[in-house]
Amino acid sequence: MKTIFVTGGAGFIGSAFVRLVLEENADVEIINFDALTYAGNLENLIGLDDARHKFVKGDICVKEEVFAALPENTEAIFNFAAESHVDRSIASASEFVLTNVLGTQVLLDAARAKNVRRFVQISTDEVHGSLPEDDNAFFSETSPIQPNSPYAASKAAAEHFVRAAFETFGVDTITTRCGNNYGPRQFPEKLIPLMISNAMNDEPLPVYGDGRNVRDWIFVEDHARAIWLAYEKGRAGESYNIGARNERQNIEVVKSILDVLGKPHSLIKFVSDRLGHDRRYAIDAAKVETELGWEAQTTWESGLRKTIEWYRANQDWVSRIRNGAYRDYYKNHYGMEIGA
Ligand code: NAD
Ligand code: TDX
């Protein structure tokens, strides 16, 4: 048995990764270490193989908790734990500095102290800043790091500490930078689940600015598969940009959701733009395709349908969130109430 230590495994992407790894690797057991912030949800882990999956509640910023949970000679750390929502980072950045930067450094220290074989940092394409919408440029591994939001700045800072651990101490590191994920169990503050849940409730769909910002969307399981391949086949000290070559304007995404749900486009409500709103993200995935042999398996059309189906079938999951602290966040951020 190989033991891997996954942080943030009760969140959206971390839980998809845990599920996939357990399903596809009979010789792997997982310690899932998560602080259960507003975004962490034990319901995301229902149905997992308990013999090979151990959940530990803990904070990556607290050295004693990390060191107590991380066994000597662990095969790999996968660091998903983060504050992940750009709008929240604009409202208040300190939590982002703490978890995303300090937390990553605590894990790097623990990796050295406990002789962890490989450290995989889950980063984001947003560290590269923004691309113009009207040219053919893409983010590659050599694009400059020029983050624009406090969230992106914290993820970029974390990447620098990962690089420093590799260069200074020889920690075996891999950094992955993925574009916008979508799929089951994504917290409804993010564009796609927000629009699905509001549309299901016949509530306004708040689109920022002119709705023509572009994101490069990837189905969450395709991202999880790419991370596993990067861990298995990636070269120490390297970074890997992950994307499904699937650029869409926000307004197109929102209209597609309404169409699948059979709801009118009149639910769309243009609202004030996000401060510092990045115009376009687009990823050149040549390195993961050629070096790791990865390609996306889910088309946009089938992934979006699967995602909408999941939210339709799991309305209790959504309601529990919309009836919790998220209700206050929503009112504060959008100046509107949401239903249950
Ligand atoms: P999420 O917000 O759904 O989940 C984050 C998880 O981390 C939660 O379970 C939360 O409880 C946990 N967590 C937060 N602070 C913690 C702490 N101090 N200690 C331990 N656990 C803590 O996020 P997500 O969308 O699943 O993103 C996962 C990772 O992938 C993040 O690092 C994010 O930056 C990165 N990423 C996300 C996307 C995307 O589109 N969502 C794209 C690229 C990269
Ligand atoms: O209410 C909204 N209205 C709207 O128009 C929200 C929440 C978003 N948007 C727009 C802003 C973006 O152009 O939709 C786009 C996507 O927004 P988010 O879902 O907030 O994602 P984004 O800001 O692009 O960042 C995401 O991708 C990279 C994740 O949240 C990050 O964790 C990841 O690193």
Q: How far apart are CA 143 and CA 138, in angstroms?
A: 8
Q: How far apart are CA 159 and CA 149, in angstroms?
A: 15
Please tell me if the CB atom of residue 79 comes closer than 6 angstroms to any atom of ligand 1.
no
Q: Is 222 an annotated catalytic residue?
A: no
Predicted local confidence at residue 159, as pLDDT: 98
Q: Choosing from 34, 59, 83, 125, which is the catalytic residue?
A: 125
Q: Residue 83: pLDDT band by 50, 70, 90 thresholds?
A: very high
What is the 72 CA–ligand 2 centroid distance (Å)?
38
Backbone φ and ψ of 213, nearest 5°? -65, 145
Please tell me if the CB atom of residue 158 comes closer than 6 angstroms to any atom of ligand 1.
no
Residue 340: pLDDT above 70?
Answer: no
Q: Which ligand is nearest to the CA of 128?
A: 2
Residue 134: pLDDT above 90?
Answer: no
Q: Which ligand is nearest to the CA of 16?
A: 1
Q: Which ligand is nearest to the CA of 42?
A: 1
Using one digit for the tens of pLDDT, what is the confidence trace for 211-224? 999 999 999 999 99
Per DSSP (E only), the strands in 68-151 are 76-79, 118-124
Least confident of 135-139, 167-171, 174-178, 204-208: 135-139
Q: Residue 317: pLDDT band by 50, 70, 90 thresholds?
A: very high
Residue 50: pLDDT above 80?
Answer: no
Q: How far apart are CA 95 and CA 82, in angstroms?
A: 9
In terms of DSSP bridges, do strands 76-79 and 268-271 run parallel, antiparallel, or are they unpaired? unpaired
Using one digit for the tens of pLDDT, what is the confidence trace for 19-31? 999 999 999 999 9
Q: Residue 90: pLDDT band by 50, 70, 90 thresholds?
A: very high
State mean pLDDT over 57-82: 98
Using one digit for the tens of pLDDT, what is the confidence trace for 97-130? 999 999 999 999 999 999 999 999 999 999 999 9
State mean pLDDT over 283-308: 98
Q: Is 125 an annotated catalytic residue?
A: yes
Please tell me if the CB atom of residue 13 comes closer than 6 angstroms to any atom of ligand 1.
yes
* E strand or H helix at 167: helix 150-169
Q: Is 216 an annotated catalytic residue?
A: no
Helix, strand or coil for residue 57? strand
Predicted local confidence at residue 325, as pLDDT: 95
Predicted local confidence at residue 339, as pLDDT: 77
127 touches 101 (CB < 8 A): no
What is the 190 CA–ligand 2 centroid distance (Å)?
6
Using one digit for the tens of pLDDT, what is the confidence trace for 235-271? 999 999 999 999 999 999 999 999 999 999 999 999 9
Predicted local confidence at residue 47, as pLDDT: 93
State the closest ligand 2 atom to the C-alpha of 191, by its place in the atom list counted from 1: 19
Q: How far apart are CA 227 and CA 17, in angstroms?
A: 8
State the closest ligand 2 atom to the C-alpha of 334, by its place in the atom list counted from 1: 1
Question: How high is the mean pLDDT of the chain?
Answer: 97
State mean pLDDT over 134-157: 96
| Torsion, CA 168, CA 225, CA 80, CA 325, rounded to 10 | 170
Domains and CATH numbers, the chain: 2-181+218-242 (3.40.50.720)
State the closest ligand 2 atom to the C-alpha of 85, by its place in the atom list counted from 1: 30
Q: Which two tokens stand for residue 293?
A: 């042999």
Please tell me if the CB atom of residue 166 comes closer than 6 angstroms to any atom of ligand 1.
no
Q: Which two tokens stand for residue 149?
A: 């939001």
Q: What's the distance, CA 44 to chain centroid?
A: 14
